[in-house]
């Protein structure tokens, strides 16, 4: 699909990932990209979603809008994470079908995988168990959107594809400690400690879990490539294929921020899923996606961006 002359709606287009997807589309010459704010259209409201489709008349929808957060936010607000994400997803897909949208791109989550999935996670493993408990409501909602996409393809011929990105990071991430993910949370802890003269930071868990991270610009590239080139019902992982332990990650962030104090592990707090690392061969095979950013360089850029924003008073 040549996206250059398509009318493209990016829900969540003003969020962390959304801004990079919108920029990628515009860099490639797409001139009709719409990224309305949630204050303009509440995607949990079917009538608002129908109005959005009438107002923007999209030919392609990339659905990024979601209520997201780290382990703490998921534990405190599981009902909100379930309700908001299921309502946004189900209604946006249905209204897009009714509006005759040519292609619909659904962004899932690595949290949808079962808690004890063998590493590397293969797309065929998605239904082989229950997600990790701390984010199960969010992960299960995202699985259900895959079911909806496949059902709509079967009954209506609706061209919906489904992508499973791993944990994202990069400049522009959310650093609010009430809802941030692990990398921005750790960066903020280290920078706060340095500025306040504290000689220790406290980190949740015991450091043993592993995670895989994908630089946000790489993720945006993968999403746009899939939008252009992929048209099958099967889900596709988007990741870097590299695994790092939380203990190693903390050490790397401490070194890059200049924090030299003590790391205290709060083992009363949950570790989350034991391991996460994706098999990324399908994305490379189906639409030629491969991550480029070196992880340490990506962390350095993220830290530099955050420190610059703090100096401007623009970040918590």
Cα 75 from chain centre: 18
What token pair was written down for 116? Answer: 């004890």
By C-alpha distance, which of 56, 68, 65, 78 is closest to 9? Answer: 56
The sign of the torsion formed by the CA atoms of 94, 98, 99, 103 equals positive
By C-alpha distance, which of 141, 143, 103 is closest to 123? Answer: 143
List 83, 113, 130, 138, catalytic entry: 138
| Entry field: residues in the chain | 316
* Residue 266 vs residues 13, 51, 184, 259: alpha-carbon distances, Å: 36, 48, 18, 19
What interhelical angle do 16-27 and 216-229 show, nearest 10?
Answer: 60
By C-alpha distance, which of 36, 34, 50, 55 is closest to 94? Answer: 50
How far is it, in rounded angstroms, from Cα 140 to Cα 114?
10
Assess whether 130 carries a catalytic annotation.
no
Coil, helix or strand at residue 134: helix
Residues tagged active-site? 138
């Amino acid at each position: 699909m040549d996206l250059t002359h398509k009318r493209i709606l990016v829900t969540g287009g003003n969020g962390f990932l959304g801004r990079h997807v919108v920029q990628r589309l515009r860099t490639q010459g797409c001139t009709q990209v719409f990224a309305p704010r949630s204050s303009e259209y509440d995607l949990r409201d079917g009538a608002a979603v129908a109005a959005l489709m009438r107002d923007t008349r999209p030919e392609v929808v990339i659905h990024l809008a979601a209520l997201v957060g780290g382990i703490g936010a998921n534990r405190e607000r599981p009902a909100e994470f379930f309700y908001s994400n299921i309502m946004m997803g189900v209604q946006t897909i249905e209204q897009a079908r009714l509006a005759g949208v040519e292609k619909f791109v659904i962004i899932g989550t690595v949290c949808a995988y079962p808690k004890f999935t063998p590493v590397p996670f293969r797309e065929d493993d998605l239904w082989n168990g229950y997600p990790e408990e701390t984010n199960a409501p969010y992960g299960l909602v995202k699985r259900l959107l895959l079911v909806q996409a496949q059902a709509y393809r079967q009954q209506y011929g609706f061209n919906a594809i489904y992508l499973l990105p791993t944990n994202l990071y990069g400049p522009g991430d959310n650093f609010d400690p009430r809802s941030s993910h692990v990398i921005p949370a750790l960066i903020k802890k280290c920078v706060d400690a340095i500025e306040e003269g504290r000689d220790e930071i406290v980190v949740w868990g015991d450091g043993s879990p592993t995670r895989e991270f994908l630089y946000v610009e790489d993720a945006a590239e993968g999403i746009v490539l899939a939008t252009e080139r992929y048209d099958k019902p099967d889900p596709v992982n988007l990741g870097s294929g590299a695994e790092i332990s939380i203990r190693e990650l903390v050490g790397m962030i401490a070194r890059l921020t200049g924090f030299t104090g003590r790391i205290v592990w709060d083992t009363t707090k949950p570790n989350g899923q034991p391991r996460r690392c994706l098999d990324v061969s399908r994305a490379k095979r189906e639409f030629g996606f491969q991550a480029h950013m070196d992880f340490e360089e990506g962390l350095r850029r993220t830290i530099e961006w955050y420190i610059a924003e703090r100096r401007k008073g623009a970040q918590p």
